[in-house]
Structure 1
Amino acid sequence: MIRLKNDKQIEGIRKSCKLLAGLFEELGDHIKPGISTWDIDRIAEEYIKKHKGTAAFKGYEGFPGSICASVNDTIIHGIPSKKEILKEGDIIGCDIGIVLDDYYSDRAYTFAVGEVNKDVKLLLERTEEALMRGISAAVAGGRIKDIGKAITSYIEPFGYGIVHSFCGHGVGLDVHEEPQIPNNYPSRGMNPRIKPGMVLALEPMINMGTADVEILEDDWTVKPLDGSLSAHFEHTIAIFKDKTEILTVL
């Protein structure tokens, strides 16, 4: 069931999203060569607690971290580790959720660590642009699959793999809600009408190579089958009758 949010609920979700946007600004100052993904996780957890929130992902179905820290060829759900030290030229996708006063926010951003090569920079820029194309297609009166269609039509000419095994989702009153939002088109499943009151987390995951993935033995870490680099960008958005608002920005 898709839960439509009222104005009070959207305002609560908005506050959670603003806190999350501030956290990403904070992390941008710390993500440099030499830092571990565990240290990034600690910085995020301390920031969330300081602002009276809770890390939405910690303990969710047993996940051990406060954030998902996905380096280079990890698509999503990377587990923070003291042994994983970032180096010049790496990329790291940070996927984070916050619960604030029982309202959930969700955002992901793939950071460049120092200087990255041209091809990697293009992957990041194009994946972020794919997210914005998806957001532009998420308007009242449209259909959920319009989002994946916008993402696919932009990304496909570059020859990248659009991850289809995982997708975006509803959010706001829980970590994951209906509807599921495929990033690829065409796709299987329901294609509900986009309505005012929907709060959605859009999150294209784009691989430099194949779209096919594998889940490692830790039951969390997701990687492309060919070991190619992967980028992940996400925003939480709210649908209104006359506009779509990106909530996870300052």
Structure 2
Amino acid sequence: MKLGRNDDCWCGSGKKYKKCHLGFDSKIEQAQMEGMLVPDRKLLKTPDQVEKIRQSARINTGVLDHVAERIQPGMTTAQIDKLVYEYTVGHGAVPAPLGYQGFPKSVCTSINNEVCHGIPDEAIVLKEGDIVNVDVSTILDGYFSDASRMFCIGAVDEEAARLVRVAKECVQRGIEAIRPWGSMNEMAEAVNAHAEANGYSVVEEIGGHGIGLEFHEDPYVCYVPCEENDMLLVPGMMFTVEPMVNQGGREVWLDEENGWTIRTSDGKLSAQWETMLLVTEDGVEILTE
């Protein structure tokens, strides 16, 4: 239903529509008329929702800090899973991956050529020279948060360390390119250009996602410019920046034996950092990293 100028605004502020979101909605309508993909109102988080998501995010960051203090050669990925589970439930929250579409553990641990969704296991032991992505997601009182970090286990070779560093720089370049009323492709171009300038490739088949009220919401976030996924960036949107940067080609394959783990097709290394952010009126707010 289209609101009149003097109707109460749809956002619940109690203000008249003309004094609140009329100009905001006009910008969105103009972009849509120009053929751009625009977010549905349900994707725009209210101040109350943002505050509750921040509380979830603080626990999520705490989990990664907890792992960072303890991860070392000789540790199994099952031990990382235990650290994540115990810290999360000890803070009154729930690990979002546990049981999600049948996923059996509380965290994803992806090592070396594993791009994402590595499953913790007692038989998988971290060894000197490995690089590992620890991907943590948290539910607190029904509100979701998500982030991942790369860890270098002991002394890693120069090329592995460089890949990990450049993957983090790709996230930073992407965040710097995000601006309210800009486009998702501006972020994707910044990510992809930095990866390619360093001789790496960005996975196209798997991307980021909206988050906050659900584990995975719209929009789908691609890190290679793509017209069908190029969405107007509107204040109130919340999503992850998590490009998967490959040492070799961008092609990947699914391990059908466990149904989850994605690996590089050429067997070369992959690295990923994940940050969750909120688009604001004047930039972005980093919620997890």
TM-score bracket, normalised by the shorter chain, equals over 0.9
Give the match for residue 157 of structure 1.
Answer: 197
Three-state SS of the structure 1 residue aligned to 2:253 is strand
Shift of 1:188: 4.6
C-alpha distance in structure 2 between counterparts of 1:198 and 1:32, whole Å: 37
Tell which structure's C-alpha radius of gyration is larger: 2
Shift of 1:190: 3.0
Three-state SS of the structure 2 residue aligned to 1:139 is coil
Give the match for residue 205 of structure 1.
Answer: 244
**Which AA in structure 2 matches 1:97?**
S
C-alpha distance in structure 1 between counterparts of 2:78 and 2:228, whole Å: 37
Aligned residues of 2:46 and 2:236 also touching (Cα < 8 A) = yes
**Which AA in structure 2 matches 1:190?**
N
Aligned residues of 1:67 and 1:96 also touching (Cα < 8 A) = yes
Aligned pairs for 1:66-215 (under 5 A) are 66-185=106-225, 187-215=226-254
C-alpha distance in structure 1 between counterparts of 2:97 and 2:43, whole Å: 21
Aligned residues of 1:69 and 1:94 also touching (Cα < 8 A) = yes
Aligned residues of 1:201 and 1:235 also touching (Cα < 8 A) = yes
Aligned residues of 1:151 and 1:183 also touching (Cα < 8 A) = yes
Unaligned runs of 5+ in 2: 1-39
Aligned residues of 1:27 and 1:40 also touching (Cα < 8 A) = yes
Three-state SS of the structure 1 residue aligned to 2:288 is coil
Deviates more, 1:146-155 or 1:46-55: 146-155
Greater relative CO (CA pairs within 8 A, separation 6+): 1
**Which AA in structure 1 matches 2:254?**
I
Give the match for residue 281 of structure 2.
Answer: 241
C-alpha distance in structure 2 between counterparts of 1:236 and 1:54, whole Å: 18
Give the match for residue 36 of structure 2.
Answer: none
Give the match for residue 28 of structure 1.
Answer: 68
- Taking structure 1 as reference, are residues 188 and 61 closer, same or farther at Cα in structure 2, changes over 3 Å only? farther
Percent of residue pairs identical: 36
Q: What is the RMSD of the two structures over their aligned residues, measured on CA atoms? A: 1.0
Aligned residues of 1:147 and 1:181 also touching (Cα < 8 A) = no
C-alpha distance in structure 2 between counterparts of 1:177 and 1:243, whole Å: 21
Give the match for residue 39 of structure 1.
Answer: 79
Of residues 81, 88, 92, the one that matches 1:52 is 92
C-alpha distance in structure 2 between counterparts of 1:136 and 1:48, whole Å: 31
* Per-residue deviation, residues 66-92 of structure 1 (Å, max 9, x unmatched): 000101110000000000000011011
Three-state SS of the structure 2 residue aligned to 1:35 is coil
Three-state SS of the structure 2 residue aligned to 1:125 is helix
C-alpha distance in structure 2 between counterparts of 1:54 and 1:23, whole Å: 12
Aligned residues of 1:169 and 1:180 also touching (Cα < 8 A) = yes
* Per-residue deviation, residues 158-216 of structure 1 (Å, max 9, x unmatched): 2212101100111000011111110112x252322100101111101001111000001
* Residue 228 (structure 1) aligned with residue 260 (structure 2): no
Shift of 1:115: 1.1
Of residues 53, 74, 88, the one that matches 1:13 is 53
- Taking structure 1 as reference, are residues 41 and 150 closer, same or farther at Cα in structure 2, changes over 3 Å only? same
| Runs of at least 4 residues off by over 2 Å | none
TM-score with structure 2 setting the length: 0.84
TM-score with structure 1 setting the length: 0.97
**Which AA in structure 1 matches 2:182?**
G
Report the count of equivalent residues: 248
* Per-residue deviation, residues 103-135 of structure 1 (Å, max 9, x unmatched): 100101111011111111110111001001111
